[in-house]
Amino acid sequence: MLRTCLTILPLLLLGALADEKYILELTDETFESELTRHENTLVMFYAPWCGHCKRLKPEYAKAAELLLGSEPPITLANIDCTGAGKETCNKYSVSGYPTLKIFEGAEMRSDYNGPREALGIAKYMKSQVGPASQQLTNEKSHKTFLEGDEVSVVGYFEKDDSPLAAAYLTVTKKLRGKARFAHTSTNELLESAGHKNTIVLYRPKQLHNKFEPDSVVYDGGDSIGEVAEFISKNYFGLAGVRTRDNKDEFKNPLVIAYYNVDYVKNAKSTNYWRNRIMKVAKDFPEFSFAIASKDDFQHELNEYGIDFVKNDKPVILARDAKNQKFLLKEEFSVDSFETFLKDLQNGALEPYLKSEPIPESNTGNVKIAVAKNFDEVVNNNGKDTLIEFYAPWCAHCKKLAPVYDQLGEKMADEDVEIVKFDATVNDVPAPYNVRGFPTLFWAPRDSKESPIEYEGKRGLEDLVEYVAKHATDQLKGYDRKGKPVKPRTDDEL
């Protein structure tokens, strides 16, 4: 198995562990009997040595405390896959840690695909138990439901077994956790709400504004696809609130305003800037828009070379459909924002590229690629290429460095380029997907196929053997198995 330096924070940053007294500890012997005693249980399958498990545990313990007294009841549990829970982990095909699964009694209902921080875990689990859509039977329940601070969706049906009602209830099960769902067939509510045989998406009061309606009424057919599309299309509105939990739901082309977004402590200021974003955004329907907390997404600001936001005004960053990055360089104003979007719309902006300077000399056996010269050194060099994406601080990268230099020496006279790329200070170009360090890719000469990630051992002989086997033309100094070949004499030529 390859050892890789993961791009994660040191364990020392975690601080004190939360109290785990509310976590149910399970073993092979107690697993089924204990789960039978509990209505709904989230089980974490873990290994004590696993760094990701150690990071999750304090959040998991806080979530268990937050869920005390929830209705219906929700329990959080652990099982050690390397100790007294081996057989159970094998039974549920657990191959990585931590793995989380949701159980109803002793029956597994689904894998857990929610957040990994305490509030998110608690919120997600509350949305996963009980009916996906709450049934509203009177004015009080209807009013209470709509007073929440999240997007709420209500289905109003004269008959609860109509095709539209059936499609809606199916969608609520698929999207549970994304929004709050309810439905009613009570005549009193249908009359007072003024809706019959339709679905209405309500935006929470804190997001009300003059640039879009506070609620959106469904006018489509009774297919599951149409209902799901209606909810997804309207859920975030003109400028959605992007968080660490929902960040992946926002798709390119995307324009994000980063500032001090805080609906708990400073909703007025948050909406002040959001309204200015929306004032311009309404005229550019081809883009998606979002606001985001600059503190929660400092790592994204870093990708644009922004280490510190000097004032309270939004910082505007964008990605187009090709995932190219763009930055509003001027201080934010309604006018500068509008100009930026027009230029982005017309393709008049130069993409932002995080890159080291191009090396003045690049004649070594291991070539240095940076973002600005990647096409020249890798894509258009006319050679088969092995590229290492590394981080200077990574211990595994440091161990590989002398081996990689030796490989460069051995390939010096071959039609193969050996290249290294510091992925911490340069934007990694598509289609390379770098999740940890070091990551090596093989890019065949003139190939239209995607580069191939190298997953073999990292000894010198292993790398030589790989290059020799995959080279477009057989190497001069090695056969296809990576064995040295004798140079041919003049008589043999």
Element (H, E) at 46: strand 40-46
**For residue 485, how many other CB atoms are within 10 A of its CB?**
12
Rg of the Cα atoms in the chain: 28
Per-residue burial over 93-105, b if 16 or more Cβ lie within 10 Å, else e, is ebeebbbbbbbee
| Residues in the chain, total | 493
Measuring CA to CA, which residue among 283, 343, 282, 355 is closest to residue 318?
Answer: 343
Q: DSSP for 412-459?
A: TTTTEEEEEEETTSSPPPTT----EESEEEEE-TT--SPPEE--S--S
Reduced to 3 DSSP states, what percent helix, strand and coil does the chain have, rounded to the nearest 5?
30, 20, 45
d(CA 314, CA 365): 46
Q: How far is CA 305 from CA 208, 298, 317, 352, in A?
A: 34, 10, 11, 9
CA-closest candidate to residue 18, choices 56, 74, 73? 56
* Cα four-point dihedral sign 148, 41, 113, 200: negative
Residue 150 CB neighbours (<10 A): 14
**Residue 66 is encoded by which pair of tokens?**
């937050």
Q: In Å, how far from its chain's centre is CA 466?
A: 32
CA distance 427 to 369: 11
5 is catalytic: no
Asked if 412 and 368 touch (Cβ cutoff 8 Å), the reply is no
Q: Is there a catalytic annotation at residue 81? A: no
Detail the DSSP E strand segments found in 209-308: 215-217, 240-242, 254-259, 288-293
Structure tokens at 339: 């100009």
How does DSSP assign 171-206, residue by residue? HHHHHBTTBEEEEE--HHHHHHHT--SEEEEE--GG
Catalytic-residue membership of 89: no
Structure tokens of 171? 């969608």
- Calculate the CA 410 to chain-centre distance: 40
Tell me if 311 sits within 8 A of 299, measured CB to CB.
no
Between CA 84 and CA 46 the distance in angstroms is 11
Which tokens hold the place of 93? 């095909």
CA distance 404 to 450: 23
Active site amino acids: 50, 53, 394, 397
